[in-house]
Amino acid sequence: MDIHEYQAKELLAQHGVPIPRGKVVYTPAEAAQAATELGSELWAVKAQIHAGGRGKAGGVRLCKTPHEVSKVAEALLGTTLVTHQTGPEGKIVERLYIEVAEPFEREIYLGFVLDRKTQRIRIIASAQGGMEIEDIVKTHPEAVLQVEVEPAVGLQSFQARELAFGLGGLTLKQVHQFVALTLGCYRAFRDLDASMAEINPLVVTREGRLVALDGKMSFDDNALFRHPELHEMHDPAQEDPREAQAHLHGLNYVGLSGDIGCIINGAGLAMATMDTIKYAGGEPANFLDVGGGASPERVAEAFRLVLSDPNVKAILVNIFAGINRCDWVAEGVVQAARDLKVPLVVRLAGTNVEAGQKIIQESGLPIISADTLAEAAERAVAAAHGKNA
């Protein structure tokens, strides 16, 4: 689960990370009032969307008067902001963060990520802040500093100091600030079951203070039951409506740009199926995992989600039934396929496969059957392209 910048900053501040003063607003009038209450000679008006690259897309603007803040808020609210991370469809700006803009002299990158390969929290820092970390790695890999945290003991002060000294140019006082700030970020990451935390940029102000000018956090969905306070930060408006609908029915759905809809049980099988579709010359329209309890009702809901994408020209159902039962899945497929307007390819294997295949065969529907994954992918691609499957 992703959250907005102002929410991430609120959580980081609770763990001792210095942030600029700011307020979230929803109307131009609230924006002007917030600027007045914050008091400053310069304010940053920041669009709150779940994507990076807002500044380059015009989603972050500096204003010198509350009246200007109101005008900028009026121009941003309700618009669709398109950045390199949103894709061409963009995201709607429904809230803004009005923040006191302090002059600064230096930008630093600081990020925390869960490294699944090493099973450690990895801390990444760079003296070249204000840039995407991917760009820094490509252009100046030597400028990227990394530390792995041993989970048994946690982040140690000496590790944070090593990063601070590696960044160069920090005074002794600023090194102490960096260490305290980094330890606070680590505690927030660990205690809230985050999967990513990023401060970009972490700035050095003209007064010599380190301040988190931006903040991002993402959380492990599987751990949210331990953090009810994070549920309130969820913003469904920033998600693909289909993904939000899938979540309500216990389905895992991610929309893609292809034309072959996928209904599969198991994340690994779903990934293998999408790879096989690509190998056969097609493009998957989605990732959809119906999970272990694929009842007829859940399968029918999966069909509705897949068909809500107008680009879908064929559907591939690939079920390996272990916990599931093929006859259950087949009942759901038949139920959903009666008014289907696109070709449907079904491959069943596992528990009660014979009963499931019988239900498909006796349905009288033009369902294309397949015995192997490769065969199913080839037939789905052929059907999507209007060829004989």
Please report the domains of the chain, with CATH numbers, ordered by start residue.
1-19+104-238 (3.30.470.20), 21-101 (3.30.1490.20), 239-385 (3.40.50.261)
CA distance 261 to 257: 10
**What would the mean pLDDT of 126-135 be, rounded to a whole number?**
81
pLDDT, position 191: 94
> What confidence tens digit (pLDDT) does each residue in 215-244 have?
999 998 888 889 988 988 888 777 766 776
159-184 as b/e: b if 16+ CB within 10 A: bbeebbebbeebeeebbbbbbbbbbb
Binding-site annotation, residues for Mg(2+) = 200, 214
E strand or H helix that includes residue 278: helix 267-279
196 CB burial (10 A radius; 0-12, 13-18, 19+) = middle
> What confidence tens digit (pLDDT) does each residue in 25-47 have?
999 999 999 999 999 999 999 99
pLDDT, position 330: 84
The rounded mean pLDDT for the chain is: 88
> What confidence tens digit (pLDDT) does each residue in 339-364 have?
788 899 988 888 888 888 888 888 88
Percentage of the residues of the chain whose pLDDT score is greater than 90: 52
Which token pair is 338?
A: 């009666």
Binding-site annotation, residues = 46, 53-55, 99, 102, 107, 200, 214, 265
Binding-site annotation, residues for substrate = 265
Of 61-75, 91-105, 117-131, 285-299, the poorest mean pLDDT is in: 285-299
pLDDT, position 124: 94
CA distance 334 to 106: 62
> What confidence tens digit (pLDDT) does each residue in 282-333 have?
999 999 888 766 566 777 788 888 888 889 999 998 888 776 778 877 887 8
pLDDT, position 354: 86
Task: Give the global pTM.
Answer: 0.75
pLDDT, position 209: 95
Active site residues: 109, 198
CA distance 246 to 250: 6
